[in-house]
Amino acid sequence: MSIDYKAEIERLKRELDVTVVAHYYQRDEVFEMADIIGDSLELARRCKADNNPWVVFCGVGFMGQSVKVIAPEKRVLMPKIACCAMARMIDGSFFDDSVNYMIEHGIPKEDILPITYINSDATVKAKVGEMGGLVCTSSNAYKIIEKGLESGKKILFVPDRCLGQNFANSMGLKSCVIGVGECDPKEADVICFNGFCSVHQLFTVDDVAFYRNKYPDIKIAVHPECDPSVVQAADFVGSTSQLIKYVNELDPEQKVAIGTEYNLVNRMRQKNTYVLSSTKPECPTMNETTLEDLYNTLKSIEEGKPMNEIHIDEHTVKYANLALERMLEIK
Ligand code: 13P
Ligand code: SF4
């Protein structure tokens, strides 16, 4: 007999003290089952304020980890152990190498302020926290970098070179990427690690030119994980929630091509909304979670054998929490 996953998920949610959380990039059928939806900043804030002891997080690993770090008493399960490709580009030793690069190029350790994009492992966040640094998301990077600059230190930005460079450009700051061309930390304000999102790299200036040729009045809206050349050619750049707000406030007749993940753009699709790429920009790991996975995870709580639970050691929680809380304190 086949299982009615939606009905069973609804039943389990009623019977268990659990909150189902989903990022905007999840498949529609999973997204519709969630109690809390949002971008990475909203999810971190709202999970912290939520009262249920169990969290089932439909997203990628660093997002579930962030809940565990800011609310260690919660039991956090992930229907799929899905990893963000960008977050996997840096680990603790690559982070140390980046700090050493700056030291070797004449910047003493105490003059370095590390900022990590939330798309990073808890161990990297802990290293950042230990050095007095903090986390940012694509929604608040501008504010966090601005605050960071008040310290008078050089900013080491990890792991997304695009986000680091895009915000530096928008603030009129000098930036460079370690390992790419000349990168003299003494000459730059923001020194970036060479990580990137493979999904947002799909959007190109040729895609922008294609749409502008086809529809001269079209607006181009992109996520700041896109390459700086694409961001410079766009009309609007914003995080997931900022993109949603921008598109919702446009005149319904206004054509707009959006440069971000497919499931989100498809959900926003009106007759004048286009995906800014001829290749379907799906985040493969975000897309992995299915209704069956969500059901199995909830069922595992009911049966007293929780699956895919996130465990993080005390030291990592302590220092990653410092880095996350420093971000959450900045309004
Ligand atoms: P948001 O912070 O906009 O949710 O982005 C997270 C992400 O992984 C984008 O690729
Ligand atoms: Fe990571 Fe890119 Fe997927 Fe976002 S879209 S979760 S940055 S791989």
Give domain status of residue 326, yes or no.
Answer: no
Residue of 46, 138, 262 to test ligand 1 pocket, by largest number of atoms within 8 Å of CB: 138
Expressed as residue numbers, the domain containing 215 is: 200-275
Give domain status of residue 261, yes or no.
Answer: yes
Which long-range contacts (C-beta less than 8 Å, at least 24 apart) are formed by 221-224?
221/246, 221/247, 221/256, 221/257, 221/258, 221/259, 222/258, 222/259, 222/260, 222/276, 223/138, 223/259, 223/260, 223/261, 224/138, 224/141, 224/162, 224/163, 224/166, 224/167
Give domain status of residue 55, yes or no.
Answer: yes
Which listed ligand is nearest to 198 at the C-alpha? 2
Give domain status of residue 320, yes or no.
Answer: no
Interval between CA 202 and ligand 1 midpoint (Å): 15
Which listed ligand is nearest to 244 at the C-alpha? 1
Domain of residue 267, CATH code: 3.40.50.10800
On the CB side of 135, CA atoms within 13 Å amount to 31
Residues 127 and 156 in one domain: yes
Which atom of ligand 1 lies nearest, measured to the CA of 42? 4
Residues 91 and 24 in one domain: no
Residues 232 and 155 in one domain: no
What is the ipTM metric for this complex? Answer: 0.96
Which listed ligand is nearest to 282 at the C-alpha? 2
User: Over the stretch 131-166, which tens digit does the pLDDT of each residue have?
Assistant: 999 999 999 999 999 988 999 999 999 999 999 999
Residues 254 and 178 in one domain: no
Q: Considering only CA atoms, which residue is closest to atom 6 of ligand 2?
A: 84
Residues 151 and 253 in one domain: no
Q: Considering only CA atoms, which residue is closest to atom 6 of ligand 1?
A: 40
Residues 178 and 206 in one domain: no
Interval between CA 25 and ligand 1 midpoint (Å): 8
**Pocket lining for ligand 1, CB < 6 angstroms:** 39-40, 84, 119, 137-139, 197, 225, 239-240
Residues 128 and 143 in one domain: yes
Residue of 39, 63, 225 to test ligand 2 pocket, by largest number of atoms within 8 Å of CB: 225
pTM of the entire predicted model: 0.95
Q: In 3D, which of 104, 96, 92 has the Cα closest to residue 320? A: 92
Alpha-carbon distances of 234 from 12, 74, 131, 132, 240, rounded to whole Å: 44, 41, 35, 35, 15
Give domain status of residue 325, yes or no.
Answer: no
pLDDT at 40: 82
Whether ligand 2 lies within 6 angstroms of the CB of 118 is answered as no
Give domain status of residue 327, yes or no.
Answer: no
CA-CA distance, 171 to 47, in Å (whole number)? 31
Q: How many distinct structural domains can be found in the chain?
A: 3
- Dump strand ranges (E) for the chain: 18-23, 36-38, 54-58, 75-77, 112-117, 134-136, 154-158, 175-177, 190-192, 219-222, 236-237, 256-259, 273-275
User: Over the stretch 236-287, which tens digit does the pLDDT of each residue have?
Assistant: 999 999 999 999 999 999 999 999 999 999 998 888 999 999 899 999 999 9
Please name the residues in contact with 186: beta carbons below 8 A apart, sequence gap of 6 or more. Answer: 105, 106, 107
Residues 250 and 295 in one domain: no
Give domain status of residue 230, yes or no.
Answer: yes
User: Over the stretch 188-225, which tens digit does the pLDDT of each residue have?
Assistant: 999 999 999 999 999 999 999 999 999 999 999 999 99
Residues 29 and 91 in one domain: no
Give domain status of residue 316, yes or no.
Answer: no
